[in-house]
Structure 1
Amino acid sequence: MGNSLEMLDTLTWEFEQQTTSRKAYEVLSIMVSVQAVAMWGKMAPSHSITAIMITDDQQTIVTGSQEGQIILWDLSSELKISSKEILFGHTASVTCLAKAREFEKQPYVVSATENGEMCVWNVTSGQCIENARLPYRHTAIYYYHCSFRMTGEGWLLCCGEYQDVLIIDAKSLDVLHTLSSSESSDWINCMCIVHSARIQEDSLVAVSITGVLKVWDLSASLNSIQERQSVCEKESKSLDCINCQAVRFCTYTERLLLVVSPTCWQVYDYCDFSLLCTEFCKSGQCFAGGEVLAAYRLIIWTEDGHSYIYQLLNSGLSKSLYPADGKVLKETVYPHLLCFTGMKENKSFPFVMGFMNERKEPFYKILFSGEDSGRITLWHVPDVPVSTFDGSPKEIPITATWTLQDNFDKHHSMSEGIIDHLCASKDGIKSAVVSSSVYIPSLDKLVCGCENGKIFVTLGLKTARARLLENISLLKDNLPYKVLNGHSSKVTCLLYPHDKSVRFDPSWLLSGGQDSIVICWDIFTGDILHQFSLQSGPVMELLRSPENYRLKDHSIVFCVCSDHSVAILHLQKGVCLLHARKHLFPVKKIKFDPIENLLIVFCEDCSVYIWEIET
C-alpha cells in the first residue's frame, strides 16, 4: 500500500481522531503499518489498465489504471504472474509509466496522470518516494542519466500535451529546462533515446503530432541545459505520417530507425533519414507501436492487440549503382512476415502493449499487454522465429495471462465483506455490492452506499474489529446499524460535509445516485430532510462550498452530474440555486471566485464557463 491513499470502492479508517478503546486500536495497528486499512469482499476492485511496464530485472510488472491506482505484480522466472501490492496515491487516470533510476541501484518507477500528478515509487517496498503536481499532461517519459557527465539522479525526459520536450529532475520532480524547437514547435507524440556505443554520444529522437522528426543532441547540450541556455534541435525532417505512435532506434546496426503510425510502419536510414521500407496495415486495423527485436528484425503491434514479427531482407540493390541523374541509389529493404501472436477471444479494449528485451538470464524477449478489463497477457518471443513447414507465418501462443480477480478467486478462504452480515439480514439483500463509502471519524460511523440503492450506516471501528477477528456473533447481535431507503438505483457518491467544516449541521449526510437524485439525510434518525431531483443523469460527485464563500447562508454544496451539468444546492432551504447545463464536455474542475461570487467550470475540451451564482 502506498503512503498516500485515496481508496475507491474500499472502506477506510483514519485513527488519529479516535477515542475508542486502546484494545481496538492495537488490533488494527497490528494488521497494518499505516493509518488506514482497506477491505474487499470476493470481487476485486476495478483496474482498467491504461499503462503497463516491466522492470529491468523482469521480476515486477507495473500497471496504471483509469481509476488512478497502480498495481505491482510479481513475475517469476517461469513467467508466472501474481498480484503483489496496490498503490493508492493518484486522483486521476494514469497516462504513462517509466523507470526513474538505474534499476540495479534504486528500483524506482515514475507514474504520471491526466491531471498533472507525478509520483516516484519504490517497487520493492511500495512506498511513494516523491510526488508533485505540475500543469502538464505527460504521455511518455524516458529516464536519462550519463554517469561520467552528469551529477544528481538524472533526468526524466517528458512529452505530452504541451510544446516540445520537458526535462524534469528525477529526484525532486522539478522542471529543469525545455528542449525547444527552432521551427515547427508542436506537441510531441513519441520519442526515444539514441545511444551510440561506437561514438559514445546520446541523442533524443522525437516525432511531433504533425509528423516532423526532430533530433536533439543530449551529450553536447548538458552544459547548456544546466545553465538554462536555449537548446534547439540539431536536425529536423518532415515525415509522411501523422499521429506517429512510436519511434525506435536499432542499437544492433546503429543505422536503422523504425517509425510507426496508425496506417503504416516505416524504416529510415538514421544517417540521412532516407526512407528504406514502408508496410501498410490491413484493412480495419491500426498500428499502435513497435520495437526492434534484433538486427533487421522488428515486432509491430496493433490497437486491437495483434502483433507481427518481420525480418527485413536486402532488396539486392547495390550502392555502387548510379542512375541516370548521377545520384547514388540507396540500398532498400523489404519485410518478410515470420510469425504473429495468438489472442484470447474475450479480449477487452483498449489495449496497451510493450516489449521487454533486457533480462540477463534466461534472456527472455517478452511482449506484454494490458486490457481495459484489467487482464495482463504475456508472450515469450523466441530468439529465432521460424515459419511453418509450408513457409507461412507461425503463431506464437500466449505464455501467461492473469487478472486481479484471479488472485481473489485463488484464495478460497477469503472472509466476507464488512457489511455482508447486514445484507443477509431481513433489511438487506444478499447480492448488495458496495458502490460508494465514507467513514466519519468524529461519530465512528461507516456509511456504505450499494448498487441496489440502499445505504447502510454502522459503527466503523467495532465492525472492522469484529470482521478482522471473525467474531460473527458480535457482528450479528451487538452492533447497531441503520438502513436508509431513498434511492431507486446505485448510490454513486456520499458526503458528510461537517467533518471538514463546522458551518454544516453535524446531522447532515448527503448521497447522490444513478437516479439523478441527491438526498440530505439525518444520520442520527435515518430520516430524509430534503430530496433534490435534478433530472440530469447520474450524480458523479458532491463537493462542499469553499470556506470563503460569500452567500449569506453557508450551507451550500455542489454536485457534478454525468450530463456535464453542475448544480448548486442550498441545504438549509432545500432548494437548487443554480443548475448549469450548457457545458458540452465532461466537467473536469470547479473553481470559485469569492470576490465576485462566480462559479468557474473547466471542461475536458479545455473550455471554461463562468456562471454568476446569485443571479
Structure 2
Amino acid sequence: MTAEVAPAGTKSPALSVPVVIWGPKPPENRICTIRVLPDGSTIITGAENGHIVIWKLAEGLMPKQLMIGHSQKITAISQTSNSPTNTRFVSASADGRVCLWEIQDGRCIDSTSSVTIHRYIYPYTYKSSRHTRATRLFCIGDYSDIQVMDPQDLTVVFCIASRVEPDWISCFTVITHPEKEDQLIGMTLSGMMKVWTLIELEKKDPSCSLYEDESKRLEIQHIRSVSYICSARRMMLIVASSSWMIIDMDDLSTVVLYKNKTTSKRCTSGYLTDLDKVTIGYTDESINVFQLPITSLQKEGAPPLR
C-alpha cells in the first residue's frame, strides 16, 4: 500500500489516497463460499482466511474488490434483498462474526458477533402491511432450527422453531403460493422434514417464535439439498448423500426414491430442472440428468402436473 507523504517540515496535504497494488504473487484466495447476486453480473466469494472478493462478469471474470473484515473462514454470504439493484450483502465467519457490506465502496457498515455459526443465509421478502414489504434473512447453521435476522442492523428478530425434535437444519426452501400463504420447508440432517406457514411475521419477536405446522420422518438421512420449482407445484426433490427422492407436496407421500448404485458415489446437491427431469451433482464432479416417468408421477384423480 502506498500513499502520498509530505516532505519533512511541510504541512500534510488535505487528502491522502491509499493505493493497493498486487505484486507478482497475488494474495492467497482459497474459496470456500460463493454467492451470485440477483443482477447476474456480480459474484461474491469468501475464502478460508476470511477474505472476501467481489468479482464482475464483464468480458471475463475480473476481481473488483478485496474486502478484509473477518479473521476466520467465511461460512456464508448473502445479498440483503433479492432486488437486482441491491448493493448490500452480509457475510458470516466461523468465529460467529457477521458483517454488513456496501458493494459500491467496499465499506463494512455494521458487524456483530455471537456464539452461533451461520452456514446458509437467504433473504425472504414478504408483505408486512397493505402497502409495504419487508425483508428478513433466514439463517441456518450450527444450532437448532432457523434464526431470522434484520438485514439493516443484524439483530435476530425471532426464531422459526420446532416443537417436535428440534435439530440443526441442513437445508430449506420457500414455496410461494398464488392463493395461499408462503411455506418454508426445512430438512434436518437426521431426515426430518418440517413445514412452517409464513404468516404474521411482523408480529414475531425473540419471545414469540414461529412453530411448525407439520413434521414428517423421511426414508433418507444426511440430507444435502432440497429443490422446488413453480412449474411443478406438487413435486419436491430432496437429495441426500447416497440417495434422492421426489415427494408429493399435497400429502407428503414418496413418489420416487432412487439410491446410488455404488456406495462410493456421493451426492452433493440437485435440482428439479423441469416437470420430468432431475439434475444431480456428485462429489466426483460429475452431473447426471434423470428422466422421470411423468405418467407415474400423475396421481389418479389429481389435476395434471403443470
Q: Select the residue among 302, 305, 322 that pairs with 2:285.
A: 305
Does 2:83 correspond to 1:103?
Answer: yes
Secondary structure class of the residue paired with 1:183:
coil
* Cα-to-partner distance string for 1:279-300 (whole Å, 9 max, x where unaligned): 2335322111122323333322
Does 2:268 correspond to 1:281?
Answer: no
Partners in 1 of 2:10 and 2:284 — Cα distance?
54
Partners in 1 of 2:114 and 2:243 — Cα distance?
34
Q: Which residue of 2 aligns with 1:184?
A: 165
Question: Are residues 316 and 175 of structure 1, via their aligned partners in 2, closer, same or farther at CA, if it must alter by over 3 Å?
Answer: closer
Whether contact under 8 Å (1:101, 1:153) holds in the other structure is no
Cα RMSD of the aligned pairs, angstroms, is: 3.1
* Cα-to-partner distance string for 1:34-85 (whole Å, 9 max, x where unaligned): xxxx443211111111111111111111111101001111113x7x211111
Question: Are residues 169 and 22 of structure 1, via their aligned partners in 2, closer, same or farther at CA, if it must alter by over 3 Å?
Answer: farther
- Give structure 2 stretches of 5+ with no counterpart: none
Amino acid at match of 1:43: K
- Give structure 1 stretches of 5+ with no counterpart: 1-11, 33-37, 322-327, 333-615
Partners in 2 of 1:83 and 1:260 — Cα distance?
33
Structure 1 residue 13: deviation in Å? Answer: 8.1
Counterparts of 1:204-603 in structure 2, within 5 Å, are 204-218=184-198, 220-226=199-205, 228-283=207-262, 284-316=264-296, 319-320=299-300
Structure 1 residue 105: deviation in Å? Answer: 4.0
Q: Select the residue among 151, 171, 175 that pairs with 2:156.
A: 175
Q: Which residue of 1 aligns with 2:17?
A: 30
Question: Are residues 14 and 112 of structure 1, via their aligned partners in 2, closer, same or farther at CA, if it must alter by over 3 Å?
Answer: farther
Whether contact under 8 Å (1:50, 1:64) holds in the other structure is yes
Partners in 1 of 2:114 and 2:2 — Cα distance?
29
Q: Which residue of 2 aligns with 1:65?
A: 47
Partners in 2 of 1:149 and 1:192 — Cα distance?
23
Structure 1 residue 229: deviation in Å? Answer: 2.1
Partners in 1 of 2:25 and 2:190 — Cα distance?
44
Q: Select the residue among 48, 55, 63 that pairs with 1:83.
A: 63
Structure 1 residue 211: deviation in Å? Answer: 0.9
Partners in 1 of 2:100 and 2:157 — Cα distance?
17
Q: By percentage of residues, which structure has more strand?
A: 2
Larger of the two Rg values belongs to structure: 1
- Aligned residues between the structures: 302
Partners in 1 of 2:241 and 2:30 — Cα distance?
23
Partners in 1 of 2:113 and 2:148 — Cα distance?
15
Secondary structure class of the residue paired with 1:91:
coil
Q: Which residue of 2 aligns with 1:122?
A: 102
Counterparts of 1:93-172 in structure 2, within 5 Å, are 93-149=73-129, 153-172=134-153
Partners in 1 of 2:225 and 2:231 — Cα distance?
18
Structure 1 residue 124: deviation in Å? Answer: 3.3
Secondary structure class of the residue paired with 2:201:
helix
Secondary structure class of the residue paired with 1:173:
coil
4+ residue segments displaced more than 3 Å: 12-15, 18-28, 147-153, 315-321
TM-score normalised per structure 2:
0.87
Q: Which residue of 1 aligns with 2:176?
A: 195
Partners in 1 of 2:35 and 2:221 — Cα distance?
26
TM-score normalised per structure 1:
0.45
Q: Which residue of 2 aligns with 1:407?
A: none
Partners in 2 of 1:298 and 1:23 — Cα distance?
70
Structure 1 residue 266: deviation in Å? Answer: 1.1
Question: Are residues 70 and 227 of structure 1, via their aligned partners in 2, closer, same or farther at CA, if it must alter by over 3 Å?
Answer: closer
Q: By percentage of residues, which structure has more helix?
A: 1
Question: Are residues 162 and 23 of structure 1, via their aligned partners in 2, closer, same or farther at CA, if it must alter by over 3 Å?
Answer: farther
* Cα-to-partner distance string for 1:267-326 (whole Å, 9 max, x where unaligned): 1111111111122335322111122323333322122322223332224576449xxxxx
